[in-house]
Structure 1
Amino acid sequence: MSGLSWSHMSHRQRIASIVSSLRPLRPRVPFYRLPAHSVPTLWFLYRGLLRASPNSNVRAHIQELFRRHRHLTSPVLTKVQLEKGHRWLDAFNQAQKGDERLRAVLERFGRLIDARRNNLRMRRIVDDSLAWQHRLLNRPIVTGALFKPSLNNGPLPRLKPQPDHISGMIHKRRVARAKRIVRQRALFSQLEDLHIEAQFEHKLAETGAPFVRSFSGPHLAQWKSPLDASLEKLVAAFDRDTARAARPTPPELVKQLKAARREKVANKTREREREARGEVLTATRRRSRLGFPAHVLARWSPEQRKANLLARRSVGEVGYVGQVKRALGYKIPPEEDRVDEATRERLDALTEELRRVNESRRAEEYAGSANGARL
């Protein structure tokens, strides 16, 4: 049995030695780092394509393709792109040798690439302009309110919308403070365990039992020193948080907030004046959509609904709107007659003339209808 087993093992080793020479070896480094791949690709394929390119558009397109696929790490996908590149190189060489059909195809290909680059350029210009408009519409504006100091931030101006870097700063500090609290509790627990161990060794030494001290005596300070150093760093970080929360508002920030409040009032005043002239603004549309809760509307009559909605959605203070607002109790001063005496006399004369003209026309119409009835 032993002879048979030995012969069987030798036969398997002989077969393995024959097959191992045919089995492909897997390299220890990626294929794209092997000179057998990089040298032919760069010095033969890429250089040959650039030299044999029929025009500048095709040459720029080849450079773009190589930049796009330079990070390929899949052997299968890389093989596909290399085969395509070699087909292109053969076509370029044949066109240089005088193949008229390939020359025409490559010229048309160059024109298509040029048109595509122009379209991409125009699309990029439009996208950049739209992105710039979006940034202008959503740029942070100082509202005039103060972002009060806290453990995570000092005094800041309230911005609308709030920038992402401020939100990220506050979030990062909150997470860091929570981690410091957990770390501090762990260090306190370790110090407590250390003192318990030292107290146990001290009591054990009082009984006279022979043992080697590990935590009590001179060893206690050695164990505590790294823990105390870590606690001092954490306490310093907590002190910085407390100082940040107690930081006073700088005078420059106060001036900036006051200027923003004045500008806000002036802006709203200009907005109301534009609405009074009849312009429909974003604020006008937003106000037109304002309403009252359903349980409030259910208690009102149709006239009350109309009056309250009119007063809420309108900014005017004269005429019918002013009359409705005064009836509802709005604090609106009474209307003033700002017409001088000369203008009033002229308007009265025009009113009297208009009355006489209307009376004469009604009399003529009445006389004409009476004559028609006689006939």
Structure 2
Amino acid sequence: MPTTTASTHRSQPTGPAWTEEALDLLNLVRQLAAAELAPRVDEHESRATFPRELLRTLGRAGLLGLPYPQQYGGGGQPYEVYLTVLETLAQHWLGVAQSVNIHVLSCYGLAAFGTEEQRAAWLPDMLGGELLGANCISEAEAGSDISALRTTATPNENGYAVNGVKSWVSHAGAADYYNVFCRTGRDGVRGLSLLLAPADTPGIHPGTQERKMGVRSSPTAQVVFDEAEIAEDRRIGRPGKGFLIAMGLFDRGRLGIAACAVGLAQAALDYAVAYAKTRKQFGKPIISFQGIGFMLADMATQVAAARSLLLDAARRLDAGQPSSAAAAQAKLFATDTAMRVTTDAVQVLGGYGYVADHPAERWMREAKLLQLIEGTNQIQRLVISTSL
């Protein structure tokens, strides 16, 4: 089995975001990923078991709150740095990178729209990784069109009574809290609000785990809300602010998926190159044959282009510039690239690429997920075309 320790993308990143502290952080993540993630991925993915303790380890290392303020226990890092860390994790284990991304997104509403009292009370434990979060947005009849959400939060003397069913909730059953996007007012986007609900709230019932094609170590299920009582002080932002919060969440979520896609594609490229250098046919390494060499050249070019789109969008976000279209472009191109590159990696390996003894077949299955979540790539094209 070829080694993948020497990546074709190991040069240190440059630019204003990359302080000495950020570079040291990235080196730490590379070491941590190689030592803690790579040896465990096969077991957890084959058994579909969630590596909760590993997420706690990453939290204690400061990786679950990187783009948030230091005063609340975050890392105070630009999104560019955080996304590069996410890419590095995804090179070794997409499921864990996805969990980091999901948790970081679950902190966004509170960090960006919560009151100072709410942030001080809840954000430190969330950013420190002792608590694990999840977002409840999608429903059976409402995905990217969140104006169609039907989960209701009816005001009462205790706060809100929440009723409805959320679909495709990552970390369902494993999370300690849920960000619940629900309807507190009229139809349409202006009637949506965000509630931060403890997972042990009576009336919150995670469903049976979905049996997925890939990323099996990350639990996904429906979450049922049946007269779940959520206190009024758990509302994040004013009533009707939910749509605005969700839009910021979508931009950041799409960048996170793009980073995971670049990491997955890089892993597949590295593995295919290493294999092509050692596999011999007709007395020569197969990388010397134009049919293989040119395929690898295209793969490398696509990965580099995806990374450039991702970094451009991240820098726009860090600069406070409009970044929705750039995030959609990065997500679209990077996930399509991951699908192409992982498929081509299987082709380079030939029959070996089709068996579970090599990770290429798993990467190909995992890449498909990235084209679907945080808005399918057809939705990304809609976002981009609308921006034109």
Q: Which has the larger radius of gyration?
A: 1
TM-score (norm 1): 0.20
Task: Write 1 or 2 for the structure with the bigger share of helix.
Answer: 1
Task: Write 1 or 2 for the structure with the bigger share of strand.
Answer: 2
